[in-house]
Structures are given as C-alpha cells and as structure tokens.
Chain A
Amino acid sequence: MMGALNPQLNEHGELIHLLSLDGLSREMIHDILDRAAPFTEIAEREVKKVPLLRGKSVFNLFFENSTRTRTTFEIAAKRLSADVINLNINTSSAAKGESLLDTVDNLAAMQADMFVVRHASSGAPYLIAQHLAATGRNHIHVVNAGDGRHSHPTQGLLDMYTIRHYKQDFTRLTVAVVGDILHSRVARSQLHALATLGVPEIRLVGPKTLLPTAADRMIAGAPLRVCHDIADGLRGADVVMMLRLQNERMQGALLPSPQEYFKSYGLTPERLALAKPDAIVMHPGPMNRGVEIDSAVADGRQAVILPQVTFGIAVRMAVMSMLAGGGTQ
C-alpha cells in the first residue's frame, strides 16, 4: 500500500535494518560515517577487535556468490567479536527446494541476531525484513549486502566515507558516475546518498543502452544530469565514480564489444585530465582494466580505490554495531 512505513525504520524513525540509502536523512548518513571513523583506527592496532557484538550471531546469507563482499562483512563482524556463520545458498537449488522465507525462518530459529543478505532479486531483503516484522521478530536485523539491481547500501556508505575523507564538503562537488548505471545497485545507492548529502550536480555518464529509460527522474528532486559524451561528463568533476562493466553485458545487444566500450567510455589519463586536477577516482571493484578503466588511472595518484576497501570494513563495523550493538566503542 502507498504510504507504508519504510520497513528499515521503527516507529520512532530509528534504523533497525539497513536495506537502502533511499529514505535515510542527511543526519543519519553523517551519523553512520561519524561512527565509522574510530573503527578505521582499530585496524591499525595489534589486536584488531572490540567487544561490541560479543555473543551475537551474524549470519552471512548469500543467495548470490560473492567472496569479496562476504569476506568484508565477515572481517567487520569478527572485529566486533561476533560469531559469524557463512551460508552460500545456491539460488538454483533454492528454486527447487526451500523457499526464501522458509530458509529465513529456519535460521531465525537458530537464534540469529543479524542477517547479512545478498540476493539476485531486487527487494529480497525487504521481503525478509517485512516477514520478520510480521512475525514479531524485529530484534533480528537485516543488512542488505546487495539485492539485484536495487541497492548496495554499505558500498554507497563507504563511497560517501571516502568522498568525505578527501573532499569534506559535499555541497560544492560535481560528481560523475560512469558506466553501467542500468544494472548497477552500487550506482543506485551512490545516487541516493549523493542527493541526500546535498551534492549540487550529479552526472550519469554512459550509452543509452546502459542507462535507465527515466534516468534523470529516477530519484525525485535529485540534480541528475545525463551525459552520453564522457568528455561532457568529466569536465570539471571533483569525483569520478567508475562502475564495473559485467562481461555478460556483451550479450543481449547492449554493447558491441569491450574494445568499443573502452574507446567510448574507458577512463584514460587524457580523459581524466578534463576533470579538476585534484579529482579523485573511485571504483567498487573488481576492476576490468582496459575495459572501463586504464591501468595508468587505476594505479595513478588520483585513484582512491584501495582506501575505499579499507574504509569499507570500518563502515560495515559501524552499521553492524549501530544496529545490533547499540553504540560505538
């Protein structure tokens, strides 16, 4: 129904799940980033652990395989002293047998405190959160680790952490998001966060086949501008956020070849020179060198791709401790 309560907030407007950055306030996002800051220092210590989630069980529920993302959540949970259980549930075998909600019910019965969910279908973590609410189990928290093309909120948050770290003030930035926006849950999370944080110009750069039909209207009120020419998209930008181009996009008549894509949209040093001299280059990984990004840029002085990974652990620790730990260290 229209006007239904955003399922990631409780009746007091507090975050109980992290499903999307859509609907989070500017204060809420900054609060999460503020909480992440001290966690970056823990990684520097000899004992990289705090007891915030001691005795809690975190289930990594991956219906779609992703070793990298699962590992970052696992590290974050372990540094918070949680018990971590990893489950890779092959979607094809799930399709034949147990339903998604039956799986959730079974794991909930094992006294889970948090589900970290990755699923190939947009909205799957919402279904789980709504099911937990309908069955009176709101004490189990759901963190969306990527659902279909919809959302990857911790990635969006770590990207914001990175931008804040290097650029401080969002309200003066021009940000270019480059690549396969149509299929990207990362892009959707970035766009919601950038708009909420007050970025005055967000450029969506890519060919028409990789942009949603209503790209410029996809977030109500956001200053989105579609650029099909990458030079237009990069000129004067402060932040360049590259997206990964999946190999399967070469099928289905979306693109002719990786070579042609690189020729039209690959981030080369020459193109990057159109952006501000101090522009930063981001990428959610894993990178396709020579397809969306030139190695000279990926390894260059403007790239902040590895710091993104480090910040990612801290941001995930902040989110998990906020939801289940009830505070910072």
Chain B
Amino acid sequence: MKIEIRNGRVIDPASGFDQPASVYVADGRILGSGGAAQGVPAGFQPEAVIDATGCIVCPGLIDLSARLREPGFEYKATLESEMKAAAAGGVTRLVCPPDTDPPLDEPGLVEMLKHRARQPGFAHVHPLGALTVGLAGQRLTEMAELAEAGCIAFGQASVSIVDTQVLLRAMQYAATFGFPVWLQAQDAHLARNGVAHDGAVAARLGLAGIPVVAETVALATYLQLARETGARLHVRRLSSAAGLALIRAARADGLAVSCEVSINHLHLCDENIGFFDAHARLDPPLRSAADRAALAAGLADGGIDVLVSDHTPVDDDEKQLPFAEAETGATGLELLLPLTLKWAADSGVPLAAALARVTSEPARILGLERGCLKPGVPADLCVFDPAGRFTVSRERLRSQGKNTPFLGRELAGEVRYTLIDGHLAYAADGLA
C-alpha cells in the first residue's frame, strides 16, 4: 500500500525538518518526505491520499509510561480499549510498567502480552520487566530471559525496593547485561501512609503528607548506586524541583542518567486537589506550584528528557471514595499530545522542540531508531490539527478509564489520523 500524506506541515524533530511537505509511505515504511522542491519519489503512485491541510504531520508519539491493565485488571481496562485510546491520542509506541497482576516477572507473561498486542492498528508495546520477583524487592527476576521475551528495561513500577543490598545487586546484575533500570524515586518509609504533597494544602485539608525528601532521599541512593554499578538509570515520574536539581548535579558530575515527567505533574499542583478531588490523587503526589514550574522549565531546557502520559485507567468505584482511600492514577493516553502543545504554548517552546519530548527523545531512551521520519523506518505517524479544540469529557475519552483531573478543561490539538506500520489505526472522521 502506497500512501501520500499531503498539504500538511511536516515536522521531524529528530532531523529538524519542518516545512510544508508530503510524507510518502510504502509497504508500511516511510519512503521519504519532501516539499515541492524535492518532488515526488521516482515512480511513486499513491493508492491512497491523506489530506493534511491545516494539520501537522509528525512521527507517532512514544509514551514511556502507559498502563494497559493486562493481565489481571481487565475490569479497569483491556488491551482493546486502551489501544483504541492510544491510536486516538496519536500514540504509536508505548512502554507498559510491570504493575499488572501477576506482575511482569516471567517470560511467559511478557510473551503473551507481546503476542496479544501484535495486531494491526495496535501501538507497538514494550513491556518494562519487573526488576524483582513479584515486585517484592527480594529476589532478582530472570532478566536475560525477560529481555529475550521483549522487555526493554527493568523496573519496580511504584513499589520501592526497601532493601538497598537487593537494589545494589539488581543494578549490578542489570548492568552486567547492559539492561537499563527504570525506577521511580520514592522512599517507602518516608512516603508511608501519605496521600498528598506535604505542604500547605495537605496541612489545610488534613491529608497525610508525602514530603519531597521521600523523592530526594531515594534519588540520592539511586544515583550513588548507578555510579557504583554502572547501571543505566532512567528516573520515572519525577515530581519535585529538588529531585530535578539532584539529577542535574549528577549529570554535571558525568553520570548518564535520564528522567521523565508526567503530563499531570507538568500542568498541575497540589492546589488542584481543590475540595478533595480524587482525580488529583496521584502517585507521586502533585507537588507545589513552585515544583510544577521547575518541572516545566526542566522539560524545556533538557533537564528532563521526556514527557509521559503515565496513563492509569482506574474504574469509577475506586475513585468515588474519600481522597485518601481512592486509588491513585489518571487516564492520559488521549491527553499526551494536547498537553504537550499546551506546555509548549505556555512555556514558549518551539513546536518541533516540544514534539521531540514525545517522539525522538523517548526513542533515544529506548535505544531505537524510531520516533522519526527517516526513510526506511516503520510508518508510525500522527496527523493533528493544532488549532482543533475540544473539551475533555467522559464521553469523548476512548480509554476505559474516565478518571482525569483535566475533565471539563478545553484543550487544543486534535488528532486527525494515526498510522501504525502504515495502517490507518485512527481517523477522526471514522474511516479507519
């Protein structure tokens, strides 16, 4: 199948290409892209044409943190429901953390998930393998086997390894084989019983606090162990200005460490808890306005590498509870693009640089030549109308999770088409 996407503004953050152009797709791969000057590739006869007038054509988004809830939590979401959400959000590749039931700690589970996800129109799935058996923080998983089954890195989801000797050994072992270690920095003891950022809002609302030191104490440990073991560390779900400062200092000191922030922490702070809104019950907690500003600035200047949705579908019953009892998490796959654009507009970041945070940069962390429009790579593409506005509503969300603190907000950035391996996975006009 030969497809031409024409009349759009083509942005390839990896190469810096940004001009009115066509993208040519053949046999599921990018054939090339070019404007009027470059002309059509020799002998190219499109069998289908996508009109991208008024739209931006860019690589499909890569989301380094999206829960699909399989296996084990099918009542919250299924692969089918969440893949529809991914496609509607322009996300063509994602990493799912191992906090499933059972956790992704056995090759069979990973193979099954990869197999189930290998369908036309489904985003490419990279499972994050469990670093320890059952995420229990005691015994190492069979990382080499898991990597063979498809795990791209190893981590603990939101469960900390309390025993630092186990953590040291897990990082040593991962480093032996060059497997990256992806960890969320939160000291389990300092965060115990906490449900909100330990600041003025939690003090006023009488919510048990999770102090910033819960992040920095764990992070300081991780950075020391990464230096000691040579493990390639990626810090998941950064939440605080002080945490970011530690990462900057470690980098300045020569340590190769990457990190990510979620759309929620990029745009919201503890004030958004309002009158105990359980949609704002997140892990890690939404921190202060000053922390939020530092994270937004860090994403702009490269202190933070990647923006993630941290997609976590939760069913209504588990959100319609008093704040402290409600389950953590927010749905996000369909909000990643519009909230990237909002951050770019709010922070004055050029569009191509903003899109790099959800395309080429996550590809770099995955060590894959993806998230770009280089001839020969799979045709994973997103065509969106940057001016298209919509209101976030339960009805509009395709994810089974309707839980997000952005409900009721108007956002700009409507996905028109999503292509995965050259297949039309989503079309806003319903033709997919």
Within 8 A of A (CB), among B51-77: none
Separation of A305 and B272 alpha carbons in the complex (Å): 39
Q: Give the contacts of B85-121 with A (CB-CB under 8 A).
A: none
Are A1 and B277 in contact, CB atoms less than 8 angstroms apart? yes
From residue 179 to 206 of chain B, which have CB atoms closer than 8 A to chain A? Answer: 198-200, 202-206
Cα of A22 to Cα of B200 in the assembled complex, Å: 14
Contacts of B208 in A (CB 8 A): 149
CB distance from A252 to the nearest CB of B (A): 9
Q: Which residues in chain A, 112-130, are within 8 Å of chain B measured between CB atoms? A: 119, 121-124, 126-127, 130
> Which residues, 122 to 181 on A, are CB-close (under 8 Å) to B?
122-124, 126-127, 130-131, 147-151
Residues of the B chain whose Cβ atoms lie less than 8 Å from the Cβ of A119: 322
B206, A127: Cβ atoms closer than 8 Å? no
Q: CB-CB < 8 A to A2: which residues of B?
A: 271-272, 274
**Contact string, A266-309, partner B, CB cutoff 8 A, digits 1/0?**
00000000000000000000000000000000000000000000
Which residue of B204, B325, B407 is within 8 Å of A121 (Cβ)?
B325
The answer to whether B272 touches A149 (Cβ under 8 A) is: no
A122 touches B199 (CB 8 A): no
Question: In the assembled complex, how far is the CB of residue A230 from the closest CB belonging to chain B, in whole angstroms?
Answer: 21
Q: From A207-215, A239-247, A317-325, give the one contacting chain B.
A: A207-215
Give the shortest distance, in Å, between A140 (CB) and chain B (any CB). Answer: 17
Identity of the chain A residue whose Cβ is nearest the Cβ of B275 in the assembled complex: A126
Chain A contacts of B271 at CB under 8 A? 2
Check A219–B324 contact: CB distance below 8 A: no
Given A1-B405, A7-B275, decide whether A127 and B207 contact each other with a Cβ distance below 8 A: no
For residue B407, give the distance in angstroms from its CB to the closest CB of chain A: 7
Within 8 A of A (CB), among B299-336: 317, 320-325
Measured CB to CB, the nearest residue on chain A to B280 is A1
Q: Are B206 and A22 touching (Cβ within 8 A)? A: no
Determine the distance from Cα of A99 to Cα of B324 in the docked complex, in whole angstroms.
14
The count of residues in chain B whose C-beta lies closer than 8 Å to any C-beta of chain A is 30
Known: A4-B275, A126-B275, A150-B205. Contact between A213 and B199, CB under 8 A?
Answer: yes
A99 with B275: CB separation less than 8 A: no
Contact with B along A193-218 (1 / 0, CB 8 A): 00000000000000000001111011
Pick the contact of B323 from A99, A122, A214, A220 — CB < 8 Å? Answer: A122
Interface check A185, CB cutoff 8 A: yes
Number of A-B contacts (CB under 8 A): 91
Given A149-B206, A150-B206 in contact, is the A123-B199 Cβ separation under 8 Å? no
Contact in complex: A99, B204 (CB < 8 Å): no
A122-B206, A127-B276, A213-B209 known; A218 vs B322 contact (CB < 8 Å): no
- Tell me if A188 counts as interface (CB < 8 A to partner B): yes
Interface positions, chain B 206-257, Cβ under 8 Å from A, are 206-209, 211
Known contacts A4-B274, A212-B202, A99 near B320 by CB under 8 Å: yes
Contacts of A121 on B, CB cut-off 8 Å? 321-325
Q: Are A185 and B274 in contact (CB under 8 A)?
A: no
Chain A residues with Cβ below 8 Å from B207 are 122-123, 148-150
Task: Give bound CA distance, A164 to B203, whole Å.
Answer: 27
Chain B residues contacting A4 (CB-CB under 8 Å) are 274-275, 277
Find out whether the CB atom of B209 lies under 8 angstroms from the CB atom of A6: no
Q: Is the CB of A122 within 8 A of B322?
A: yes
Q: Is B209 in contact with A122, judged by CB distance below 8 angstroms?
A: no
Asked if A89 is an interface residue, CB under 8 A from chain B, the answer is no
Which of A131, A149, A214 counts the most B-chain CB atoms under 10 A from its CB? A214
Bound complex: CA A4 to CA B202 (Å): 18
- Cα distance A42–B385 in the bound complex, in angstroms: 69
* CB interface residues, A 70-127, toward B, < 8 Å: 99-101, 119, 121-124, 126-127
Assembled-state Cα–Cα distance A151/B408 (Å): 28
Please name 10 further chain A to chain B contacts, defined as beta carbons within 8 Å, in addition to the given A122-B205, A122-B324, sorted by A numbering: A1-B272, A1-B408, A1-B409, A122-B322, A123-B207, A185-B206, A212-B203, A213-B198, A213-B211, A218-B200
**Residues of chain B at the chain A interface (Cβ within 8 Å):** 198-200, 202-209, 211, 271-272, 274-278, 317, 320-325, 405, 407-409
Q: A-side interface residues toward B, CB under 8 Å?
A: 1-2, 4, 6-7, 22, 99-101, 119, 121-124, 126-127, 130-131, 147-151, 185, 188, 212-215, 217-220
Please give me the 5 A-B residue pairs with the lowest Cβ-Cβ distance, nearest first.
A123-B276, A149-B206, A150-B206, A121-B322, A212-B203
**Can you give 26 contacting A-B residue pairs, CB < 8 Å?**
A1-B274, A1-B405, A2-B271, A4-B275, A6-B275, A99-B317, A119-B322, A121-B321, A121-B324, A122-B205, A122-B323, A123-B205, A123-B207, A123-B276, A126-B276, A127-B278, A131-B320, A148-B207, A149-B207, A149-B208, A188-B204, A212-B198, A213-B198, A213-B199, A217-B199, A217-B203
